[in-house]
Structure 1
Amino acid sequence: MGRTLANKKEIVAELKELLTGFELALVIDYKGLSVAEITDLRNRLSSKGAVCKVTKNTLMRIAVEGDDNWQPIQTFLKDASAFVLVKDDLGGAIKEYQAFQKDTKKTVLRGGVMEGQALDENDIKAITDLPSKEELIARIAGAINAVPTKLGVGLNAVPTKLAVGIKEVPASLTRAIKAVSEQEES
């Protein structure tokens, strides 16, 4: 027995709500995966804050209708589709999917959508090269921490150089007087 109209509307509403909390959606062809393999993929992705959702293309098409942010996903809706929805760790989730894909050799990445843009496989691979959120925070913290250190070193150098300069004044003055007196004698 098929799904009722009310049940389908419920699924579409759930998909709409689910999509609002995510930044990236990958569309994969999951044909040939067993229930255990789908469960394995879901478990791998959950540690990265991502979700794997299997639903009918028609229901996803209805869910993204009128939403400019997710509209491009319609170009990838064909055959058996699963959707990997990613919230925070974009690179980590994509790497987890790629590891799963390498292990099973059964799925095909059709493309993805992020911020209203359709992404091909090369775009998605480029995202994996980006540093994670934690790495960026660490880099920024390191840069912020380095500023006072460099400022302190610079400020400490000023009095030292000034003292060296002041110490050199009498010696320079003595040499100048000596040079002038030698010139007058000759």
Structure 2
Amino acid sequence: MGRTLENKKEIVSELKDSLSRSQLALVVDYKGLSVAEISDLRDRLRPNGATCKIAKNTLMRIAVDGDDTWQPVTQFLQGSSALVLIEEDFGGAIKAYQGFQKDRKKTELRGGVMEGRALNQDDIKAITELPTKEELIAQIAGLLKANTTKIAVGLNAVPTKLAVGLKEVPSSLTRAIKAVSEQEQS
């Protein structure tokens, strides 16, 4: 028994909702995967803020119709297509998929879409080489810590140099008076 019109509308609505929360979509050929293997893929993607959606290509086309951000995905929809929708950790999610693909050797990444632009496999590989959100936060924290340390050292040096300078004033003054008096005597 086929899907009802109401059921198809619900699937399209779910796809639109998932796409609205996503920043990157990958199209994967999942032909030959069992239900257990698809569940394994979903389990690997979930910790990275990604989901795997499987629907008929026509329903996916309807979901992206009129949406310039996701319209380029239609060029990758042929055969058995699954959408990997990534909300947050691009690199982590793509690496999770690549790990799954390496283990199963049954899927093929066709391409992706980000900010209305179609991505080829080289573009997607470049995204995986970007630092993760956690790595960026750590780098920023390190920079902030280094700068505050430099500021603290600099602020600490000012009173020290001022104290040394003030300490030198009396002896410099004494030397100046002595030099003036010696000059007057000669």
In the superposition, the TM-score normalised over structure 2's length comes to 0.86
Specify the alignment match of 1:162 in structure 2: 162
Query: Partners in 1 of 2:17 and 2:99 — Cα distance?
Result: 28
Moved more, 90-99 or 8-17: 8-17
Query: Partners in 2 of 1:170 and 1:14 — Cα distance?
Result: 82
Matches within 5 A, 1:25-36: 25-36=25-36
Q: Does 1:19 align with 2:19?
A: yes
Specify the alignment match of 1:152 in structure 2: 152
Q: Does 1:117 align with 2:117?
A: yes
Query: Partners in 1 of 2:28 and 2:144 — Cα distance?
Result: 41
For structure 2, the 5+ residue unaligned runs are 182-186
Runs of 4+ in 1 over 4 A off after TM superposition: 165-181
Shift of 1:162: 3.4
Matches within 5 A, 1:1-186: 1-167=1-167
CA RMSD of aligned residues (A): 2.4
Structure 1 residue matching 2:32: 3-state secondary structure: coil
Query: Partners in 2 of 1:15 and 1:136 — Cα distance?
Result: 31
Shift of 1:11: 1.2
Specify the alignment match of 2:184 in structure 1: none
Query: Partners in 2 of 1:162 and 1:46 — Cα distance?
Result: 59
Shift of 1:48: 1.5
Moved more, 137-146 or 76-85: 137-146
- TM-superposition CA deviations, 1:11-54 (whole Å, max 9, x none): 11111112111111100111111222111111111121211111
Output the amino acid matched with 1:67. Answer: D
For structure 1, the 5+ residue unaligned runs are 182-186
Moved more, 169-178 or 85-94: 169-178
Moved more, 80-89 or 124-133: 124-133
Structure 2 residue matching 1:131: 3-state secondary structure: coil
Count of residue correspondences: 186
Output the amino acid matched with 1:115. Answer: E
Structure 2 residue matching 1:47: 3-state secondary structure: helix
Shift of 1:177: 9.0
- TM-superposition CA deviations, 1:100-153 (whole Å, max 9, x none): 011111111001111111111111111111122222223223333333322110
Output the amino acid matched with 1:161. Answer: K
Query: Partners in 1 of 2:105 and 2:62 — Cα distance?
Result: 30
Output the amino acid matched with 1:15. Answer: L
Query: Partners in 2 of 1:156 and 1:59 — Cα distance?
Result: 66
Structure 2 residue matching 1:111: 3-state secondary structure: strand
